[in-house]
């Protein structure tokens, strides 16, 4: 009976999750078309060697690392600040909670196209505002300058996802008993000490979840760079997933694209393990 009840879920997981992973690894070990009627030649780890020897791959790796570890810490700080503010009792609290979720609720590709117009070098609102207040003398091509495009992309992703981090941390703050703060106040702890010795330790498991939930999507970013800059100018905003997509669907190098996807997955798993080993404390509660 247990096997019968689990069969639909296991079948669904295999078809949706496990089979694509297995097929990607299989494709990464072969060369040729992925069509069922086409022949594939087994080449072992040759595709992996080709990917790892590509300077474009390592450029996209650098861009991805800057994008991930440049945005996630700032998102965590801003998200924690928003969560602490919204967690306080005040009139309109629930309206404020709904309002901060608006940037995250926008679909990524729509968000990217909106900001592409806002940053537009000739018609963009941001250029117009900066010129009006005297910061710029003339319009500046934010998304056309290789030195600034990645920073602009970081700004957009921080604006969009800080509210998501705030939502996760807000749930963690709500689970902390008030009597712990009352005991800390009786012992003479001020607000800073309450935050440092009560809030942060009890929030660690939730922070771990927020880190994983934000680091993995950031490391596997596709929609935002694709919609905002297309990976340009040049390869200044080409992330790993965007590079793998280009190899697969533009250059039709299916084996190399699958090898890149497998490498990306392995790196993401390593990052998760580091987070868990560093932050996971089952005895904290």
**Residue range 131-183, pLDDT digits in tens:** 999 888 888 889 998 889 999 999 999 999 998 999 899 888 888 888 888 88
Supply the pLDDT for residue 34.
66
Q: What is the DSSP string of 250-282?
A: TS--HHHHHHHHHHHHHHHHHHHHHHHHHH--G
pLDDT category at 31 given cuts 50, 70, 90 is: confident
**Number of alpha carbons in the 13 Å side-chain half-sphere of residue 121:** 9
3-state secondary structure of 30: strand
- The mean per-residue pLDDT over the stretch 194-210 comes to 88
d(CA 31, CA 38): 11
CB 239 within 8 A of CB 60: yes
d(CA 65, CA 219): 7
Query: Whole-model pTM above 0.95?
Result: no
CA distances from 137 to 126, 129, 134, 190 (A): 13, 11, 7, 48
Q: How would you classify the pairing of strands 30-31 and 41-42?
A: antiparallel
Query: Could you count the other beta carbons within 10 Å of the beta carbon of residue 57?
Result: 21
d(CA 244, CA 141): 27
Q: What is the pLDDT of residues 245-276, one digit of tens each?
A: 999 988 888 999 999 999 999 999 999 889 88
CB 55 within 8 A of CB 231: no
Supply the pLDDT for residue 74.
95
Q: Which domains does the chain have, with CATH numbers?
A: 21-284 (1.10.3720.10)
Q: Which of 151, 3, 166 is nearest to 100 (CA)?
A: 166
What is the tally of helices (H) and strands (E) in the chain? Answer: 15, 2
The length of the chain in residues reads 285
d(CA 198, CA 224): 37
Helix (H) or strand (E) holding 2: helix 2-13
């Amino acid at each position: 009976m247990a096997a019968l009840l689990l069969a639909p879920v296991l079948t669904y997981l295999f078809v949706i999750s496990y089979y694509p992973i297995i097929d990607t690894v299989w494709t990464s070990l072969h060369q040729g078309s992925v069509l069922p009627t086409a022949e594939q030649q087994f080449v072992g780890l040759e595709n992996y060697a080709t990917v790892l020897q590509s300077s474009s791959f390592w450029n996209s790796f650098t861009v991805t690392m800057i994008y991930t570890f440049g945005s996630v810490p700032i998102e965590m700080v801003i998200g924690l600040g928003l969560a602490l503010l919204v967690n306080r009792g005040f009139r309109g609290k629930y309206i404020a909670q709904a309002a901060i979720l608006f940037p995250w609720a926008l679909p990524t590709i729509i968000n990217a196209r909106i900001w592409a117009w806002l940053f537009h070098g000739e018609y963009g609102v941001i250029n117009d505002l900066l010129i009006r207040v005297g910061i710029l003398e003339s319009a500046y091509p934010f998304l056309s300058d290789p030195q600034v495009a990645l920073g602009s992309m970081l700004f957009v992703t921080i604006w969009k996802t800080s509210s998501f981090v705030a939502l996760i941390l807000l749930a963690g703050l709500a689970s902390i008993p008030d009597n712990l703060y009352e005991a800390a106040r009786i012992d003479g702890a001020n607000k800073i000490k309450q935050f440092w010795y009560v809030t942060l330790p009890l929030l660690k498991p939730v922070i771990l979840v927020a880190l994983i939930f934000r680091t993995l999507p950031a490391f596997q970013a596709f929609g935002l760079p694709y919609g905002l800059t297309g990976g340009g100018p040049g390869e200044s905003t080409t992330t790993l997933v965007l590079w793998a997509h280009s190899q697969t669907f533009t250059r039709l190098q299916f084996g190399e694209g699958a090898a890149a996807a497998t490498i990306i997955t392995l790196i993401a798993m390593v990052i998760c393990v580091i987070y868990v080993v560093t932050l996971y404390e089952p005895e904290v509660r």
